[in-house]
Amino acid sequence: QLQLQESGPGLVKPSETLSLTCSVSGEPISSGTYYWGWIRQSPGKGLEWIGSVYYSEYTYYNPSLKSRVTISVDTSKNQFSLKLTSVTAADTAVYYCVSQTSGVVDNWGRGTLVTVSS
Amino acid sequence: DIQMTQSPSTLSASVGDRVTLTCRASQNISSWLAWHQQKPGKAPKLLIYKASSLDSGVPSRFSGSGSGTEFTLTISSLQPDDFATYYCQQYDTSPWTFGQGTKVEIK
């Protein structure tokens, strides 16, 4: 059964880079079965799709965040990662890693709270 | 971006009630709509995709319908485990977008 688990710092300072990793079990990340993505949830903006990656090389980002986001894959560790630069308090949210099939979010990680504060 | 609007924001109901939640898209999304259930402190969980297809293991009391811009999620007989917040998600056009949610609470 596919499982996803987020990891990374829970506190990031304003203007710095938020970095999270998602560990995938139950499916080789390079199989091509799924897109791998990130979604965040905050009280102010609800659920927001950040971006996805497919086959390690095709990336798709939300235009609202595209200038600050990088999603990458480490097939040797069966992980994928999120980097969000120049963070502000507005980036405080619960971040979920997810799998997607044709755009449908079909599996969610447990989520990790990231707070942006000095 | 396609805007997804859910109504009502909160729905109060009793165990055994039939409840219907509505989701409207700002433009035609055909049947490319999913419903997710989220309980407090937990991650969302996929219930329905392609407007009316139940994900594996989802009880048959859940059903979805609609196409184009108007969609509904119906719970035929509300169970204690169903009190949660429900989100619709369109996947017709990137960026994929979600509604703001409907909270189903105990009356």
Which residues in chain B are contacts of A65 at CB distance < 8 A? none
Chain B contact present for A63, CB below 8 A = yes
Q: Tokens at residue A38, please?
A: 């990130």
Q: How far is CA A111 from the centre of its chain?
A: 10
Name the amino acid, one letter, at A57: E
Condensed to tens digits (0 to 9), the pLDDT of residues A76-104 reads 999 999 999 999 999 999 999 999 998 89
Q: What is the SS3 assignment for A76?
A: coil
Which residues in chain A are contacts of B43 at CB distance < 8 A? 96, 108-111
Q: How many CA atoms lie within 13 A of B90 on its CB side?
A: 28
* Residue corresponding to tokens 């859940």: B62
Residue B92: name the closest of B64, B56, B68, B66 by CA: B68
- A55 has a pLDDT exceeding 90: no
The closest CB to that of B95, out of A49, A106, A109, belongs to: A49
The closest CB to that of B43, out of A103, A106, A111, belongs to: A111
**Beta-strand pair B102-106/B53-54:** unpaired
Q: What is the SS3 assignment for B48?
A: strand
DSSP states along A83-97: EE-S--GGG-EEEEE
Confidence band, pLDDT 50/70/90 cuts, at residue A56: confident
CA B91/CA A80 separation, integer angstroms: 22
Condensed to tens digits (0 to 9), the pLDDT of residues B8-44 reads 999 999 999 999 999 999 999 999 999 999 999 999 9
Q: Tokens at residue B84, please?
A: 């949660």
Angle at A90 between CA B11 and CA A34, to 5 degrees: 70
* Pair B65, B51: CB distance under 8 Å: yes
Torsion of CA B98, B100, B104, B107, to 10 degrees: -170
